[in-house]
Structure 1
Amino acid sequence: MTDALSRMLATRPHVLADGATGTALFNMGLDPSTPAEIWNAAHPDRVAAHYRSAIAAGCDLFLTNSFGANASRLALHGAVTRVTELNRLAAAIARTEADRADRPVVVAGSMGPIGEIMAPMGGLTRARATEMFHEQAEALRDGGADILWVETLASLDELRAAAAAARQVGMAWCGSLSFDTAGRTIMGVTPAQLSAAVEALPNPPVAYGANCGVGASDLLRTVAALVASGNERPIIAKGNAGVPHLQEGNLHYDGTPELMADYACLARDMGVRIIGGCCGTMPDHLRAMRAALDSRPRGPRPALDLITARLGAFSGATGGEGLTIGRRP
């Protein structure tokens, strides 16, 4: 138990993770055509301010601004040679802000999907995926990240590649997949398959789970399937702040701070150990989640009908494991 997150989990029942990096930086003026990671060099003050907002909101863990900083994604913007620079900067800025906090805060080195389809359906081999994840992981480690955080994946092979990269750089890691309206990833992975796969790895993650997807209620149905799998490894839940709607050409999420506070407590009552937000989750949401987790007593494990009553109907008829309930209108 040498990594900072494992030590934190050993001393408290749950950890509050951060919210949306992309949404926050767009609100600061990031052009949608510019990779967010470029700001680690171009606007480090704004990236630092984003990190500070997570700490001020009460987060115990926040992700570095490096989600898309792999060779494949940066090549689309003519920045393939900047992988090491941008990842190291993302972690170094985060390390500085975490070290200034008045309490322990975990810096999680964010690594998102490569952006290519894994073989045999696509052309991305596991060896090449591991190489790209390794390049990121090494720079995040050198910049000061406490742990690697792999999220929004759809493929178990890609997860295995990320795990191999973490092993190569000698870092603990966490991993989560993104599940759709059918309760599966776009590559067809179910929560039960994820639960089984992480335990078969030579270096299992500190925690695993689900992030992004559709909305908070759908994500908790995925969590219910992870719990039902019998895997006792700590679970991660990072749900979107409601469901996105297009307004005047921009995406807006309908989840209020009050809804996300309910979501956080329902996740806790389901046994989730690491609770955070994803797209649309802003500091106001995080503050409400922190306050609710600290003030509301823990309740019994919620049934699916209580989740829909509090957070809204599910978007699909099943959750990928036969967990059936009504659809979102």
Structure 2
Amino acid sequence: MATYRKALPQLSGDVFLTDGGIETTLIFHEGLELPYFAAFDLLKTPAGEAALRNYFSTYAALAKQYGVGCILESATWRANADWGAKLGYTPETLAEVNRRAVAMLQEVRQSYETAQTPIIISGCIGPRGDGYNPVDFMTATTAENYHAPQVMAFRDAGADLVTAITMTYVDEAIGIARAAKALGVPVVLSFTVEIDGKLPSGQTLRQAIEQVDAATDRAPVYYMINCAHPTHFADVLEPDASWVARIHGLRANASTKSHAELDEAEELDEGDPDELARQYGDLRNRLPQLNVLGGCCGTNHRHVEAIFQTVLAA
């Protein structure tokens, strides 16, 4: 049963911690194999599930240490029909693994949640295709039908909300928002951008957010930006713009490299955690509504801790 679905604590404006780059952490720091970047596939073995549990427990413990809320994002960015089929999952086994991913986070919540650290569980939805370079573009209706089974699995498992991470074009985002709205689950949309601050599809963030809001009657409870460095998008965020006020979360990359450069990189670029933290602090000074803070590719608990040390000291 969902704990916070009817009243999401992060909407209060309090600062909430979320995790870093799960796939890059598991691959480069834990030495694990993630075919197709599919972290959810680890759930098929006890050792893999233990690695995921340890990963999420690290962030839950960090939130508890700093006395802030925590949003745990399920390890299901790749757990949709196309990527699941590549790994041998059927629709039935895929639904089951999505439910198991949420159940594991519920167990982590039981171990770490306090009155000062509410832990919200989000079912993570990734793009149908490549997270950097969209090739096949769905209509909003096709996207709604495609992503609805994963939203349904999260709803039935008791997730508090769903979050679509690394959205590269607007029609897929609209479809996910409509699917979540139809199934009665709060939805957050997180767009990624290139070094020019635009989506990989070429749209501006403003165009994307305004188009989704118009097409869904403002279904997303808020928006986020992920899988890009702050230097790629800071200049396009106008403090007094109404569309910018809809952005409440950041999950930035550690690296300043472009998506194309990251695709070709053979080593992990972890950037400078302290510099990244200062950039988060600068953005929060300009945009105080930014209250859901974590990381993406190349970041780990060190980056997230540095961010919270900076933000909470301000």
TM-score (norm 1): 0.79
Partners of 1:57 and 1:219 lie apart in 2 by 27
Partner AA of 1:76 in structure 2: K
Shift of 1:199: 2.5
Q: Deviations over 1:15-55 (max 9, x none)?
A: 22221111122132321435221112322111111110111
Query: What residue identity is the alignment partner of 2:100?
Result: L
CA contact (8 A) 1:9 1:15 kept: no
RMSD of equivalent CA atoms: 2.5
Q: Counterpart in 1 of 2:51?
A: 46
Structure 1 residue 199 corresponds to structure 2 residue 213: yes
Q: Does structure 2 conserve the Cα–Cα contact (< 8 Å) formed by 1:211 and 1:219?
A: no
Please report how far the alpha carbon of residue 230 of structure 1 lies from its aligned counterpart in structure 2 after TM superposition: 2.0
Question: Contact 2:9 / 2:118 at 8 angstroms: preserved in 1?
Answer: no
User: Does residue 111 of structure 2 align to residue 95 of structure 1?
Assistant: no
Q: Aligned pair in 2 of structure 1 residues 123, 61: CA closer, same or farther (>3 Å)?
A: closer
Work out the number of aligned pairs and report it: 287
The equivalent of 1:33 in structure 2 is: 35
Q: Does structure 1 retain, via aligned residues, the 8 Å contact 2:72–2:120?
A: yes
Q: Secondary structure, in 3 states, of the residue corresponding to 1:280?
A: coil
Q: Is the 8 A contact 1:18 1:286 kept in 2?
A: yes
Could you tell me whether the CA contact under 8 Å between 1:57 and 1:290 is conserved in 2? no
CA distance in 1, matches of 2:165, 2:233: 14
Structure 2 equivalent of residue 262 of structure 1: 278
Alignment partner of 1:220 is 2:234: yes
Three-state SS of the structure 2 residue aligned to 1:3 is coil
Measure, in 2, the Cα distance between the counterparts of 1:269 and 1:235. 13
Greater CA deviation, 193-202 or 41-50? Answer: 193-202
Which runs of 5 or more structure 2 residues have no equivalent in the other structure?
Answer: 64-68
CA offsets per residue over residues 289-320 of structure 1, 9 Å max, x none? 1222111x2xxxxxxxxxxxxxxxxxxxxxxx
* Alignment partner of 1:178 out of 192, 198, 207: 192
Query: Offset at 1:207?
Result: 1.1
SS at match of 2:246: coil
Provide the secondary structure at the position in 1 that maps to 2:8.
helix
2:74 matches 1:71: no
Looking at structure 2, the residues matched to 116 and 257 of structure 1 have their Cα atoms a distance apart, in angstroms, of 27
User: Which moved further from structure 2: 55-64 or 107-116?
Assistant: 55-64
Aligned counterpart, 1:279: 297
Which residue, out of 221, 228, 250, partners 1:237? 250
Structure 2 CA distance for partners of 1:249 and 1:240, relative to 1, 3 Å? closer
Partner deviation per Cα, 1:222-243 (whole Å, 9 max, x = no partner)? 4x15x45323334222110123
Amino acid paired to 2:41: I
* 2:196–2:233 contact (8 Å) kept in structure 1: no
Of 182-191 and 231-240, deviating more is 231-240
Tell me: CA distance 1:182–1:217, structure 2 relative to 1, closer, same or farther (3 Å).
closer
Match of 2:178 among 144, 158, 164: 164
CA distance in 2, matches of 1:116, 1:48: 26
Evaluate the alpha carbon distance shift between residue 242 and residue 122 of structure 1 in structure 2; reply closer, same or farther with a 3 A threshold: closer
Letter in 2 for 1:50: Y
Instruction: Name the amino acid aligned to 1:269.
Output: N
Deviation by residue 1:154-198 (Cα, 9 ceiling, x = unmatched): 111101100111012211011011110222111111011023123
Shift, 1:123, TM fit = 6.5
Report 1:3-22 matches (<5 A): 3=5, 6-10=8-12, 12=14, 14-22=15-23
Q: How far apart are the structure 2 equivalents of 1:54 and 1:263?
A: 21
Q: Tell me the SS of whatever aligns to 1:186.
A: coil
Which amino acid in the other structure matches residue 199 of structure 1?
Answer: D
Q: CA deviation at 1:135?
A: 0.8
Deviation string for 1:237-272 (max 9, x for gaps)?
2110123578x9733224222122212212211222
Report the CA distance shift for 1:144/1:221 in structure 2 as closer, same or farther (over 3 A).
farther
Q: Which amino acid aligns with 2:44?
A: A
Q: 1:5 to 1:62 in 2, by over 3 A?
A: farther
Match of 2:70 in 1: 60
